[in-house]
């Protein structure tokens, strides 16, 4: 019901015609990837009158499966959950001494867990990229920290123009705190707030792109449940303003956007004649079978394949001689935004609730601590049963940076991330959660990330960097030596934002594309 009441713009991206690319096509602007960077690029270019061809390796998630739903939930994962895995690879993949991962059909699912040595990186796959699978937490970083990580960017302009623009376009809203204070689905968050504040830490409400008015209807049982039906990391069937309903819908409404889905870009190189770049791609079906290999030409190419996707492509193009003059900084400066996960077992009198909204609303803000800044999301653990678990995704200031390189023997781009490099994150988070445990007389859960493993330190949700602004590119994402090639996604941000990153990625893309349109396209 609620879905029907949504503004018509919300469905525009799904309804937009999609002319599929064919070998031999020549296009003015090709965007690789349809996450935040790609969606901003598509909207602003199409509004400037430039037709945009988007190439997305994942599916267009708009057709219901046999159960009538587009996405599956976290309790009953099926082939729609993971990107080509025969078994789930859950972030919290153990419970009470055993693995809880389940066998699934290997399909082009919506959530990828990409394995590198010592680091699994979770990413969205499909039209909308990470917006399809993320928790929707829409956080603007502290201006002082933004200035610290990106000193070459005019922070005043970011905070007066581009952050407000991003928040408005993304449809960011805030939870009604009086509703929240008694809603059954946020019992877990109230326990997280109470135990943190009683231990001397500040908590704060975090804005989100999930429509909290819709969630009220879910709680009242007047609309189909999504956040309250264990839906988030494999997609939300209702309620979430993912990019296909905001930026991409607006871009599609111009009539100038086409998206080729299940197409993976494999090579970009200067065109032999006529200028521009040849772009090679592989088209697959949902089972992973190759349908076609295609080569097209683009006057301009925007890399928006995400921190991992863009970094992998660029280091392989440099190493394999397709783009040999890329700067040596390409591939460097990768970080996990200091991510580390941890869980506590609460006291028996502090149940966290059998009904938990999959959308977080609160963070513990201990960023001002000079001995180890921490911003910890009070995360849901929606299992449908009472667990007394408080789960946290801590964002910390970890100085370690990984590097992508191309491995000639395997023919793949690899990430160098050493196993001890997450330790500064653990140390910072441990100070906060040791204190909470001590004050509350509680203990860590050691059964969620492995057998007797306290810290979820071998995976991240927030890959950032690999093609850092002002180092691998100019101050607006232009790749030096290759006019018409741009980077416009999370790979521009040097490994850390101090908060959940998509608002920063979006705002920076807004800033960069405005400059590119003004200076390169007019
Ligand atoms: P991204 O959104 O990853 O988009 C890249 C797109 O490129 C994807 O659709 C790929 O399928 C596609 N692609 C990659 N390689 C190719 C190729 N070779 N050819 C064609 N297409 C390709 O990049 N952030 C927050 O701020 N708040 C949250 O609450 C939050 N929760 C999260 C929860 C989870 C489970 C995960 C995985 C992430 C979460 N994030 C959150 C992170 C956020 O989603 C992420 O930073 C952004 O999505 C990154 O945006 P990009 O535009 O860089």
Profile the chain (522 residues) by mean pLDDT over runs of 10 residues.
Answer: 37 55 97 98 98 98 96 97 98 89 97 97 98 98 98 98 98 98 98 98 98 98 98 98 98 97 98 96 98 98 98 98 98 98 98 98 96 96 96 98 97 96 98 98 96 96 98 98 98 98 99 98 84
| CB of 241 closer than 8 Å to CB of 171 | yes
Nearest atom (ligand 1) to Cα of 36? 52
Distance from the alpha carbon of residue 439 to the mean position of ligand 1, in angstroms: 37
Question: In the chain, what is the straight-line distance between the N-terminal and C-terminal CA atoms, in Å?
Answer: 45
Predicted pLDDT of residue 233 = 98
Its sign, for the CA torsion 47, 51, 43, 510, is: negative
Predicted pLDDT of residue 6 = 37
Q: Please give the tally of structural domains in the chain.
A: 1
| CB of 383 closer than 8 Å to CB of 369 | no
Tell me the angle at which helices 502-520 and 36-47 cross, rounded to the nearest 10 degrees: 30
Q: For residue range 88-111, what is the model confidence (pLDDT) as tens digits?
A: 999 998 988 889 999 999 999 999
Report the distance separating Cα 307 and Cα 41, nearest Å: 16
Distance from the alpha carbon of residue 330 to the mean position of ligand 1, in angstroms: 19
Report the distance separating Cα 434 and Cα 410, nearest Å: 43
Residue 270's DSSP bridge partners are: 277
Q: For residue range 154-174, what is the model confidence (pLDDT) as tens digits?
A: 999 999 999 999 999 999 999
Nearest atom (ligand 1) to Cα of 377? 29
Mutate-to-test residue for ligand 1 from 112, 123, 308, highest number of ligand atoms within 8 A of CB: 123
Residues flanking ligand 1, CB < 6 Å: 32-37, 55-58, 122-125, 129-130, 133-137, 233, 264-265, 304-307, 309, 313, 461-462, 489-490, 500-502, 505
Mutate-to-test residue for ligand 1 from 306, 486, 491, 506, highest number of ligand atoms within 8 A of CB: 306
Residue 278's DSSP bridge partners are: 269, 297
Distance from the alpha carbon of residue 75 to the mean position of ligand 1, in angstroms: 22
Distance from the alpha carbon of residue 136 to the mean position of ligand 1, in angstroms: 12
CATH number of the domain within which 205 lies: 3.50.50.60
Distance from the alpha carbon of residue 234 to the mean position of ligand 1, in angstroms: 13
Predicted pLDDT of residue 18 = 56
Predicted pLDDT of residue 1 = 30
| CB of 466 closer than 8 Å to CB of 367 | no
Three-state secondary structure readout of 453-514: CCCECCEECCCECCCCCCCCCCCCCECCCCCCEEECCHHHCCCCCCCCCHHHHHHHHHHHHH
Predicted pLDDT of residue 82 = 98
Give the single-character DSSP code of 14.
H
Nearest atom (ligand 1) to Cα of 137? 29
**Distant-in-sequence, close-in-space partners of 504: CB < 8 Å, separation ≥ 6:** 140, 141, 146, 493, 497
| CB of 472 closer than 8 Å to CB of 327 | yes
Domain that holds residue 292: 2-61+68-521
Mutate-to-test residue for ligand 1 from 114, 129, 465, highest number of ligand atoms within 8 A of CB: 129
Report the distance separating Cα 56 and Cα 298, nearest Å: 16
The active-site residue out of 56, 263, 462, 510 is 462
**Parallel, antiparallel or unpaired: strands 263-270 and 277-284:** antiparallel
Predicted pLDDT of residue 97 = 83
* Element (DSSP H or E) covering residue 284: strand 277-284
* Element (DSSP H or E) covering residue 343: strand 340-345
Give the single-character DSSP code of 243.
G
Report the distance separating Cα 57 and Cα 430, nearest Å: 38
Upper half-sphere CA count for residue 520 (Cβ side, 13 Å): 22
Predicted pLDDT of residue 310 = 99
Known catalytic residue at 263: no
Report the distance separating Cα 387 and Cα 392, nearest Å: 15
Q: What count of residues does the chain have?
A: 522
Report the distance separating Cα 109 and Cα 478, nearest Å: 32
Upper half-sphere CA count for residue 486 (Cβ side, 13 Å): 28
The active-site residue out of 114, 377, 386, 522 is 377
């Amino acid at each position: 019901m609620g879905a029907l009441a949504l503004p018509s713009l919300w469905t525009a991206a799904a309804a937009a015609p999609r002319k599929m690319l064919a070998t031999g096509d020549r296009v003015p602007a090709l965007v690789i990837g349809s996450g935040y960077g790609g969606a901003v690029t598509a909207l602003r270019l199409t509004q400037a009158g430039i037709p945009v061809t988007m190439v997305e390796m994942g599916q267009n998630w708009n057709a219901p499966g046999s159960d009538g739903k587009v996405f599956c939930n976290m309790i009953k994962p099926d082939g729609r959950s993971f990107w080509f895995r025969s078994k789930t690879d859950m972030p919290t993949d153990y419970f009470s001494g055993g693995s809880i991962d389940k066998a699934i059909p290997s399909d082009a699912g919506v959530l990828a867990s990409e394995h590198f040595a010592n680091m699994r990186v979770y990413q969205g796959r499909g039209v909308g990229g990470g917006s399809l699978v993320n928790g929707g937490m829409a956080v603007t970083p502290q201006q002082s920290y933004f200035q610290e990580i990106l000193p070459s960017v005019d922070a005043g302009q970011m905070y007066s123009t581009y952050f407000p623009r991003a928040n408005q376009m993304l449809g960011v809203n805030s939870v009604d705190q009086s509703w929240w204070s008694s809603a059954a689905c946020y019992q877990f968050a109230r326990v997280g707030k109470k135990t943190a504040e009683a231990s001397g830490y500040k908590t704060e409400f975090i804005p989100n792109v999930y429509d909290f008015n819709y969630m009220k209807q879910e709680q009242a049982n007047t609309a189909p449940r999504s956040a309250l039906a264990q839906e988030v990391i494999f997609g939300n069937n209702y309620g979430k303003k993912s990019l296909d309903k905001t930026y991409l819908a607006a871009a599609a409404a111009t009539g100038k956007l086409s998206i080729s889905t299940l197409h993976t870009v494999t090579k970009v190189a200067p065109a032999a004649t006529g200028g521009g770049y040849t772009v090679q791609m592989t088209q697959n079906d949902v089972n992973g079978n190759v349908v076609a290999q295609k080569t097209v030409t683009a006057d301009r190419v925007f890399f928006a394949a995400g921190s991992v996707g863009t970094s992998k492509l660029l280091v392989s193009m440099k190493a394999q001689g397709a783009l040999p003059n890329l700067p040596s900084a390409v591939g460097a400066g990768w970080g996990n935004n200091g991510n580390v996960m941890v869980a506590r077992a609460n006291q028996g009198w502090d149940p966290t609730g059998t009904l938990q909204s999959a959308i977080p609303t609160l963070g513990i803000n201990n960023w001002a601590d000079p001995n180890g800044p921490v911003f910890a999301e009070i995360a849901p653990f929606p299992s449908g049963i009472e667990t007394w678990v408080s789960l946290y995704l801590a964002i910390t200031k970890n100085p370690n940076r990984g590097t992508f390189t191309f491995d000639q023997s395997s023919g793949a781009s690899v990430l160098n991330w050493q196993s001890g490099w997450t330790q500064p994150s653990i140390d910072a988070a441990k100070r906060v959660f040791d204190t909470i445990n001590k004050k509350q007389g509680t203990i860590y859960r050691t059964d969620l990330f492995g057998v007797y493993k306290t810290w979820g330190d071998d995976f991240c949700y927030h890959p950032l960097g690999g093609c850092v602004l002002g180092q691998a590119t100019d101050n607006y994402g232009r790749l030096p030596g290759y006019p018409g090639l741009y980077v416009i996604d999370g790979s521009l941000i040097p490994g850390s934002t101090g908060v959940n990153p998509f608002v920063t990625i979006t705002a920076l893309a807004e800033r960069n594309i405005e400059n590119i349109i003004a200076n390169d396209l007019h």
